[in-house]
Amino acid sequence: MARLAGKTALVTAAGQGIGRASALAMAREGARVIATDINADALQALSDQGLETRVLNVRDTGAVQALAAELGAVDVLFNCAGFVANGTILDCSEDEWDFSFDLNVKAMYRMNKAFLPVMIAAGGGSIINMASVASSIIAAPNRFVYGATKAAVIGMTKALAADFIGKNIRCNAICPGTVDTPSLNDRMRASGDYEAARKAFLARQPTGKLAQAEDIAGLIVFLASDESAFVTGVAHVIDGGWSNT
């Protein structure tokens, strides 16, 4: 029996990386998946594989509200969109602070606020918010505003889980370590020395391996499914032992 049969799942930032792998994994488990991203080209490959797709910029409140009105209730909402800004507080301008908080945190407020009423009216569901182990769990050097945003995601997740537990809404955050995704490779290239950057990312992973997006998708399927019916308000660390060393 498919683990997500009969469920509808909406994923943001599904065009590549963890969002894409999770959308495909949930579809394989029988869910009706609505894969969204700001990048229409990136969605094409998913639509070729039979998933429903919608262009959605999670920074656009009107677009988020319009999609919620169009779709109505979903059983699973995976808020995956986020951006990794490098640097310390001394490198972080107010504009960069505002951008990271808008995409990484306020976009989840927009999505959750738009979809919660319809999810509650339909009897409940599972919300999964993308945080990171670089958050309130551990500090990663040179990830000042990123860590601040992902800590905020964990706080928002716990607040939401507490407020709506009586409405059959579960809300969990996931906190991955280093995942080998297109944007991670872009960041390695942007460093000017791809091999050195890859070595540095590998060095912080005690298994000597980066996670693949599919490794994270397994946790998403679990949190989306009824197997996790008793799991809410938790920041799930999936970091290959990084925070344990």
Is residue 53 a contact residue for ligand NAD (CB under 6 A)? no
Task: By CB under 6 A, name the one of 181, 225, 228, 232 that touches ligand NAD.
Answer: 181
What residues numbered 108-147 form the site for ligand NAD, per CB under 6 A?
130, 132
Structure tokens, 85: 């800004």
Is residue 15 a contact residue for ligand NAD (CB under 6 A)? yes
Print the binding letters for residues 25-44 with ligand NAD: x by CB under 6 A, - otherwise: ------------xxx--x--
Structure tokens, 40: 């229409």
Catalytic residues: 146
Give the C-alpha separation, 160 to 151, whole Å: 14
Number of residues that bind ligand NAD (CB under 6 A): 30
Give the C-alpha separation, 8 to 150, whole Å: 26
Is residue 103 a contact residue for ligand NAD (CB under 6 A)? yes
* Whether the Cβ atoms of residue 213 and residue 21 lie closer than 8 Å to each other: yes
- Among residues 21, 23, 28, 20, the alpha carbon closest in space to that of 9 is found at 23
Q: How many CB atoms lie under 10 A from the CB of residue 120? A: 16
User: Whole-number minimum distance, CB 128 to ligand NAD, in Å?
Assistant: 11
Amino acid at 100: S
Binding stretches for ligand NAD (CB under 6 A): 12-13, 15-19, 37-39, 42, 56-59, 80-82, 84, 103, 130, 132, 176, 178-179, 181-184, 213
